[in-house]
Amino acid sequence: MTQTKKQHIAIIGAGPAGLMAAEVLSAAGVSVHVYDAMPSVGRKFLLAGLGGLNLTHAEPFDRFTTRYAERSAACAAWLKAFDAAAICDWVKGLGLDTFVGSSQRIFPTDMKAAPLLRAWLHRLRHPAQGVPVTFHMRHRWRGVLQAADKPITLNFDTPQGAHTAHADAVVLALGGGSWPKLGSDGAWQPWLSALGMDVSPLRPSNCGFDVQTRDGQIGWSSHLSGQFAGTPLKSVALSFTDSAGRSFSSRGECVVTATGVEGNLIYAASALLRDEIARSGSATLHLDLKPDFTPERVLAEVSHPRGTRSLSSHLKSRLKLSALQLALLHEVLSKEAMNHPGQLAAVIKRLPITVAATRPIDEAISSAGGVRLEALDAHLMANALPGLFVAGEMLDWEAPTGGYLLSACLASGRVAGLGAARFLGH
């Protein structure tokens, strides 16, 4: 298609969703300008990949999309055209390769985010086909967006002073509210609400929790927090059923913190736990400390004569309970109950932990809430503001860790980019 005028688009946010939108639009022949408040591109992407960049997950698509809970249908629509296989092909197109780990998580072969980001930025700046993408760093959007008359006017604060930009369309990809030091501070919430967009308040997701002990205090006893804060609790099974009848059950590892619990197993259940706290004031999950043992075997081992050995020594010997597991039992059970084999065995298999509050959102891995999908069309364009698109964690969806977050950010960025290209007639 021959352009009669040079159209260009502003993308605010240089994370995965914004960069994917930029890639789609660049390939469509649109002049793309990416703005970000940070000094460099992809700060959160790089930090999230320090322990190994989990790109996506290899489980079947129908199972994959259930990870998005209430938003599974909407996310499935984005992911259908950019699923795990497509993400792997995209990585290969950048000159890198991927592998599937033992947990079915998919990683770059070198596990690192930096080489992938370098290759991606090189292709955006020097595309084999399409228009090079222009980046404007240290440009903090003020939240002002004048869209009554085209082109859309945007105002930024920069180290050199105020800057005004004009665009034929805008993609917002500013992230959620869980990484304020890296730019995802959620400051855009009141700005978009003022523009008439329906925004659900941001809440922590994939987060830790503060516990409430049996005597009603928040946090662990001084003994447990002083001795075991930061200690992992390995090979346990977590189960939880909320007051609405929704259930979660999984096996893995979590970590005891100074005031509560966190880690992958807790993160996986965090949405249900958070919402139950909002409804009921607290939520009680259960940990099976010996998931490989039947209740009958646990009871038999607990009841086995211990002679002159202490109870702690007996439990360590017969059940291989760790010092942390023993401390957790003492948090839950009275001294009398600890010496009652039936009660002790039951709690080893079903240790109750009551959580009363999420940790602050700036400690969370991700956030829930954001621009409600009902305020957008199928191309992620605002119903009330034609030419304004939204992508990534700004949208009202959430998912557990395991590649699901990044997959949906990339896929939604692609949808927004294609939508913007369509809006501009490309």
pLDDT tens for residues 309-328?
Answer: 999 999 999 999 999 999 99
pLDDT in tens, 8-43: 999 999 999 999 999 999 999 999 999 999 999 999
Average pLDDT, the chain: 94
Structural domain contains residue 293: yes
Q: What is residue 102's predicted lDDT score, i.e. its pLDDT? A: 87
pLDDT confidence tier of residue 61, bands split at 50, 70 and 90 = very high
- Asked if 407 and 415 touch (Cβ cutoff 8 Å), the reply is no
Percent of the chain with pLDDT over 70: 98
Do residue 243 and residue 138 come from a single domain?
no
Do residue 200 and residue 104 come from a single domain?
yes
391 vs 6, higher pLDDT: 391
Amino acid identity, position 115: P
Residues whose CB is less than 8 angstroms from the CB of residue 221 and which lie 6 or more positions away in sequence, other chains included: 213, 331
| N residues, the chain | 426
Do residue 66 and residue 24 come from a single domain?
yes
What CATH number has the domain bearing residue 189?
A: 3.50.50.60
Map residue 128 onto helix, strand or coil: coil
Do residue 415 and residue 291 come from a single domain?
no
Structural domain contains residue 37: yes
Q: What is the pTM of this model?
A: 0.91
Do residue 249 and residue 193 come from a single domain?
no
Domains: count for the chain: 2
pLDDT confidence tier of residue 1, bands split at 50, 70 and 90 = very low
Structural domain contains residue 1: no
Q: What is residue 3's predicted lDDT score, i.e. its pLDDT? A: 36
For residue 252, give both structure tokens. 């893995």
Helix segments in 311-403, DSSP class H:
311-319, 323-332, 335-338, 341-349
Percent of the chain with pLDDT over 90: 89
324 φ/ψ angles, rounded to the nearest 5 degrees? -65, -45
Give the residue from 345, 392, 373, 329 showing the smallest Cα distance to 74.
Answer: 373
Final residue of a structural domain among 339, 358, 377 = 358
Q: What is residue 149's predicted lDDT score, i.e. its pLDDT? A: 63
Final residue of a structural domain among 314, 330, 358 = 358
- Region 332-340: what's the mean pLDDT? 94
Do residue 195 and residue 213 come from a single domain?
no
Q: Residue 251: give the domain boundaries.
A: 209-358
Do residue 145 and residue 247 come from a single domain?
no
Structural domain contains residue 264: yes
Final residue of a structural domain among 358, 383, 413 = 358
CA distance 193 to 180: 20
